[in-house]
Amino acid sequence: MRTRLLPLPRSAEYQTGSVSWASPLRVAVTDDLRGAVTTFALDLKTAVGWDVAFVDAGTGGDLEIALDPALGPEEYRVVVDDVTVVTAGSPAGASYALTVLRQLGAVELWSPTRSTLERCEIARVVIDDGPAFPWRGVHLDVVRHFFDVASVCRLIDLLAAHRLNTLHLHLNDDQGWRVEIPGWPRLTDVGAWRRSSPVGHEDAAMDDNTPHGGYFTADDLVHLREHAARRFVRIVPEIDLPGHAQAVIAAYPGLGNVEEPLEVWTRWGISEHVLNVGAEALAFAEDVIRYVAGLFPESPVHIGGDECPTSEWERSPIARHVMVEQGFGDARQLQGLFTHRLSAALRDEGHEVVAWDEVLDARVDPGTVVCAWRSSSKGVEAARRGLDVVMAPMQFLYFDWLNSVDPKEPTAQAPVPYATTWQKVYGFSVVPPGLESELHHHVRGAQAQLWTEYISTRDHLDYMAFPRVTVFSEVVWGTPTTLEDVRPRLEVQLDRLAIMGVRFRSLDPEA
């Protein structure tokens, strides 16, 4: 029976037999957990048309749910019996327990449209569970190809189905600007649209000559935030400056370093056009980051900080003047002006600051959370410098890489032999090898990256994300076992994804 659950719970003791559920499902719940149960009830109504009737505890209901302050914030306990009892350390823990109960039932419970199911058998089991890591996330690039509100909400639902709790949204880059900002209308009038995109791999030098763009309004982002909150997923917005700024400079040339007009970039890769280091550009970056952060109160905010070429600064009179004024001897130090100013602004508003691991190449503000993407060794470096780290190494967790070396795979970011199979993902160690045990507490968790240069449709996003996100969810939950053990459970989870309409990559036959 354990083959039904993924991620695998920390402890599951199966008993003899099962209990039978039908509509109306009678649920007793304390007020502080009613929101989680309401979402569960809506899911059941959508999937199989069942009603949930709220009843008083001890009146012979099917399910009783209550808080237990002795449990950790994401921990829960499930006892499936004649009356199934769920206790949880928080509403999030209760939501995870309800997700597990759906997994214990029929696959029809996961349908996004009405299925016919009159009765469902739930295995009798006692589960004690909770995650090993508090940051369990997926990153989505909505810049290279834009994904609308409905598509992002659907992804949030899929993350929650795997007990993942973080969606990192990459909102700007050279190829587009994706969020409306008051006082800066040209960011979306101009910066949100490019005239063309590469076709196939960048090296092919072929373009589609088709305009592409889109952006989120403030109302859109609030809707995403509220939808995610109902699923106990937090959104971490990213504004990546001063590099990756060609779309900004196309909209506001005065923020750049060159006189000739620029267009929103129509190539992939990294543009050399970056913000200048004058007072207006620094004020712009702070204004934007404060506004976006304000749409996600209490969430961490990612300030980028990666891949910022310095060639323009090395030729810029403004930059040379600032370097003299600041006592800098290297143009690379100029990026710190943005990093420190944006970090201070965010902390002033009560936000935790997250940045890519290039910030380790210079002085890092204390308290910065580092996303280690270049390699796991960068996670080790961050922890040894006293910084918390989210593991995101491209060698394991960049899901824009090929699913396999099969020549039939669609074009991806890295060519053969660079492939990331689901088996490789399952072998990833969240705690970096070689990290001293006394520093393990610095590892917040991990996240998988979906960069979208070569992902332009929802179906292709599904194909690149799943089943890799599925096995990743068990790794970051902290309960990976063996390939032989996980595969049958993965097959069951893919049956659920199939009924949800997910166009995942099928598993290859076992060797």
Report pLDDT digits (tens) over 191-212. Answer: 999 999 998 777 777 899 999 9
Task: Evaluate whether residue 488 is within a structural domain.
Answer: no
* Residue 32 sits in the same domain as residue 175: no
Average pLDDT over residues 464-485: 98
Average pLDDT over residues 324-339: 93
* Residue 121 sits in the same domain as residue 143: no
**Sign of the dihedral defined by the CA atoms of residues 291, 295, 301, 305, in that order:** negative
Task: Evaluate whether residue 503 is within a structural domain.
Answer: no
Task: Evaluate whether residue 472 is within a structural domain.
Answer: no
Task: Please say whether the beta carbons of 371 and 443 come within 8 A.
Answer: no
Q: Is the pLDDT of residue 3 over 70?
A: no
Q: What is the pLDDT of residue 309?
A: 93
- In whole angstroms, give the CA distance from residue 258 to residue 253: 8
Q: What is the pLDDT of residue 206?
A: 86
Long-range contacts of 340-344 (CB under 8 A, 24+ apart): 340/365, 341/282, 341/285, 341/286, 342/241, 342/285, 342/286, 342/289, 342/303, 343/303, 343/368
* Residue 431 burial by Cβ neighbours in a 10 Å radius (0-12, 13-18, 19+): buried
Q: What is the pLDDT of residue 398?
A: 98
> What CATH number should be reported for the domain holding residue 85?
3.30.379.10
Q: Report pLDDT digits (tens) over 17-30.
A: 999 999 999 999 99
Q: For the ranges 113-122, 180-189, 337-346, which has the lowest average pLDDT?
A: 113-122
Of 183, 309, 332, nearest in space to 257 by CA? 309
> What CATH number should be reported for the domain holding residue 216?
3.20.20.80
- In whole angstroms, give the CA distance from residue 426 to residue 134: 19
Among 434, 450, 465, residue at a domain's last position: 465
- In whole angstroms, give the CA distance from residue 310 to residue 331: 6
* Residue 379 sits in the same domain as residue 250: yes
Q: What is the pLDDT of residue 1?
A: 44
Q: Report pLDDT digits (tens) over 340-355.
A: 999 999 999 999 999 9
Domain of residue 52 covers 2-129
Task: Evaluate whether residue 482 is within a structural domain.
Answer: no
Among 129, 149, 167, residue at a domain's last position: 129
* Residue 242 sits in the same domain as residue 206: yes
* Residue 19 sits in the same domain as residue 163: no
* Residue 104 sits in the same domain as residue 211: no
How many CB atoms lie under 10 A from the CB of residue 223? 15
Q: Is the pLDDT of residue 187 over 90?
A: yes
Q: Is the pLDDT of residue 58 over 90?
A: no
Q: Encoding tokens for residue 255?
A: 């923020």
- Measured in whole angstroms, the distance separating CA 68 from the mean position of its chain's CA atoms is 29
* Residue 108 sits in the same domain as residue 180: no
* Residue 124 sits in the same domain as residue 148: no
* Residue 273 sits in the same domain as residue 220: yes
Task: Evaluate whether residue 49 is within a structural domain.
Answer: yes
- Locate all alpha helices (DSSP H) within 438-482, ordered by sequence: 458-465, 468-477
* Residue 237 sits in the same domain as residue 101: no
**Mean pLDDT, all residues of the chain:** 96
pLDDT confidence tier of residue 303, bands split at 50, 70 and 90:
very high
Torsion of CA 262, 204, 462, 143, to 10 degrees: -10
Average pLDDT over residues 387-391: 98
Q: How many structural domains comprise the chain?
A: 2
* Residue 197 sits in the same domain as residue 62: no
What pTM was estimated for this model as a whole? 0.97
- Locate all alpha helices (DSSP H) within 394-457, ordered by sequence: 394-397, 422-426
What separation in angstroms does the CA of 41 have from each of 48, 72, 155, 496?
11, 25, 20, 18
* Residue 47 sits in the same domain as residue 174: no
Q: Is the pLDDT of residue 93 over 80?
A: yes
Q: What is the pLDDT of residue 310?
A: 95
Task: Evaluate whether residue 498 is within a structural domain.
Answer: no
pLDDT confidence tier of residue 302, bands split at 50, 70 and 90:
very high
- In whole angstroms, give the CA distance from residue 277 to residue 292: 21
Task: Please say whether the beta carbons of 86 and 49 come within 8 A.
Answer: no
Percent of the chain with pLDDT over 90: 93
Q: List, in order, residues 6 or more apart from 426 with CB less than 8 Å away.
A: 471, 472, 474, 475, 480, 483, 486
Q: Report pLDDT digits (tens) over 274-285.
A: 999 999 999 999
Task: Evaluate whether residue 507 is within a structural domain.
Answer: no
Average pLDDT over residues 289-293: 98
- What is the widest separation between alpha-carbon atoms in the chain? 78
Q: Is the pLDDT of residue 2 over 80?
A: no
Task: Evaluate whether residue 457 is within a structural domain.
Answer: yes
Task: Please say whether the beta carbons of 249 and 175 come within 8 A.
Answer: no
